Chain A
Amino acid sequence: MKAYQNSLIPLDSLITLAEQSRSIEEAWVQRALVALSFKYEPVLAQAVLMRSLPEVAIRRINRFWFDTPREDEFI
């Protein structure tokens, strides 16, 4: 967890977050931990720490640059 020691988020909170989010997807959690810093993503980090919308927060950090068209659109 050295990489996160300069983060303004308390280490214990990050560990708790990681444990809570394990059910979502491990790789996502890792990326979320990297991105979660008050310096760069204060609103998202706060939202996660307040235990509100953790999935939404993680998805916004882990941006997917592509569309997801529906089956009907191809017809």
Chain B
Amino acid sequence: MRTELIHSHVLFGKVKGSSAPVWYPFAEFLKHMLILGRTGSGKTNLIYWIVYQLSKKCGVWMFDRKEDFRHLLQLNKDMYVFDLMQDFCFNPLQPPPYFHPKKWVEMVTELYCRINSLLGVSQNMLFTACDKLFEDRGIYDGGRDYPSFFELYDALKKMILARWSRSAGSRDSLCNRFEATLATNKSLYDCSIGFDLESLLNKTVVFELAGLMETQANFWINLLLHWVFAYRIGKKERGSQLRNIVVFDEAKAVFSPFENPNLGLAPITYMVSMLREFGVGIIAADQTAQLNNSIFANSQLKILFSLGSGDDLLKAARSMGLDAEQAAYSHNLGVGEAIVRHHKIGKTFILQIPKFPLE
């Protein structure tokens, strides 16, 4: 085994049927990765290996709904774990450094409304309210007294609108969503300037989402991804250098296959295709293949562990270009074994992954 490769590649395991180690170059992570497999098949174990090796090379952000990744603290003492229900504070309206505040307001208001299934009138109203708060506080002139989500909610409530008008109805819908958002966790939103995300960019960070409503979790994942994107674009950090890896276990919450035709494509759809240019790679993992097509279309490396459903297997096999015998073999895969179709070398093989040394 060529151990010197550890400086430029991640070691996944070995090829079944031979003793060849399976290496994957850092830069290839920018082309995104999709990992599918039923519970207990070995997905999280593989992610542990990848995260452990990449955490010394670039920033790794993990979005965790099951408190799986906090166990990595046993081996990586430099890792940060934030439970969004308890010990995290960030103002969604605080723009990333180098990014124009007005563009950020547009981005966040659109994101919030799409994720909360609010249509154009609500979105315009939210933007107008937010824009006015930013004007009044001199944010566009360099001020840093960013309004919190609580203050934005108050501004919406104080808007003078004709009773029973369409605008009043939209405001009610908006306020309804804000009430649910703010009730989730007061301390999460109750700040003007939150935690310094810029200093966390190069770190290994776990954002725990257990307990958050699905809409809230989806909003935060999208918000933080948009933040990274806006930061990189504002700082003009393009290119093929791997700067960040973002890991989603239980990816279906973000890459939902269900799209509201009135709202257009989910925000994450655009992010997946754009993040790559800014040095951000995505690793998405799930128990089923019932995910948004964008992650199938945009992930170069697909790793298939044993799946529990024939429908999922058909979809996964089709997306990986497996033939019938190869797909059927997935039923014979043991724990820690996965089918890999490697586009770069044009081969399909069985990957065997050793158990990650965690207690």
Residues A68 and B17 in contact, CB atoms below 8 Å apart = yes
Task: Assess whether A40 is interfacial by the CB under 8 Å rule.
Answer: no
Instruction: Provide the bound-state CA to CA distance between A67 and B326, in Å.
Output: 11
Output the nearest chain A residue to B346 by Cβ-Cβ distance.
A67
Output the nearest chain A residue to B347 by Cβ-Cβ distance.
A67
Q: Which residues, 15 to 39 on B, are CB-close (under 8 Å) to A? A: 15-18, 20-25
- The interface residues of chain A lying within 8 Å CB-to-CB of B347 are 67, 69, 73
Contact with B along A54-71 (1 / 0, CB 8 A): 000000000111111111
Instruction: Provide the bound-state CA to CA distance between A63 and B345, in Å.
Output: 22
Task: Assess whether B9 is interfacial by the CB under 8 Å rule.
Answer: yes
Instruction: Provide the bound-state CA to CA distance between A66 and B339, in Å.
Output: 9
Residues A69 and B342 in contact, CB atoms below 8 Å apart = yes
Residues B345 and A74 in contact, CB atoms below 8 Å apart = yes
Task: Assess whether A3 is interfacial by the CB under 8 Å rule.
Answer: no
The number of residues on chain A lying at the interface, defined by a beta carbon within 8 Å of a beta carbon of chain B, is: 12
- The interface residues of chain A lying within 8 Å CB-to-CB of B5 are 75
- The interface residues of chain A lying within 8 Å CB-to-CB of B342 are 69, 74
Residues B23 and A75 in contact, CB atoms below 8 Å apart = yes
Residues B23 and A71 in contact, CB atoms below 8 Å apart = yes
- The interface residues of chain A lying within 8 Å CB-to-CB of B18 are 68, 70
Residues A65 and B23 in contact, CB atoms below 8 Å apart = no
Residues B350 and A74 in contact, CB atoms below 8 Å apart = no
Output the nearest chain A residue to B351 by Cβ-Cβ distance.
A66
Q: Which residues, 336 to 350 on B, are CB-close (under 8 Å) to A? A: 339, 342, 345, 347-350
- The interface residues of chain A lying within 8 Å CB-to-CB of B23 are 71, 74-75
Contact with A along B327-359 (1 / 0, CB 8 A): 001000000000100100101111000000000
Instruction: Provide the bound-state CA to CA distance between A66 and B21, in Å.
Output: 16
Residues A71 and B349 in contact, CB atoms below 8 Å apart = no
- The interface residues of chain A lying within 8 Å CB-to-CB of B15 are 68-69
Contact of B329 among A66, A71, A73, A74 (CB under 8 A): A66
- The interface residues of chain A lying within 8 Å CB-to-CB of B24 are 74
Instruction: Provide the bound-state CA to CA distance between A37 and B17, in Å.
Output: 27
Residues B345 and A66 in contact, CB atoms below 8 Å apart = no
- Which 8 residue pairs of A and B lie closest in terms of their CB atoms, listed nearest first? A67-B347, A74-B23, A65-B325, A68-B18, A71-B20, A68-B17, A73-B345, A67-B349
Given contacts A68-B15, A70-B20, 16 further A-B pairs with CB under 8 A are A63-B325, A64-B17, A65-B329, A66-B349, A66-B350, A67-B349, A68-B16, A68-B17, A69-B342, A69-B349, A71-B2, A74-B20, A74-B22, A74-B24, A74-B342, A75-B2
Give me the interface of A with B, judged by CB distance under 8 Å.
Answer: 63-71, 73-75
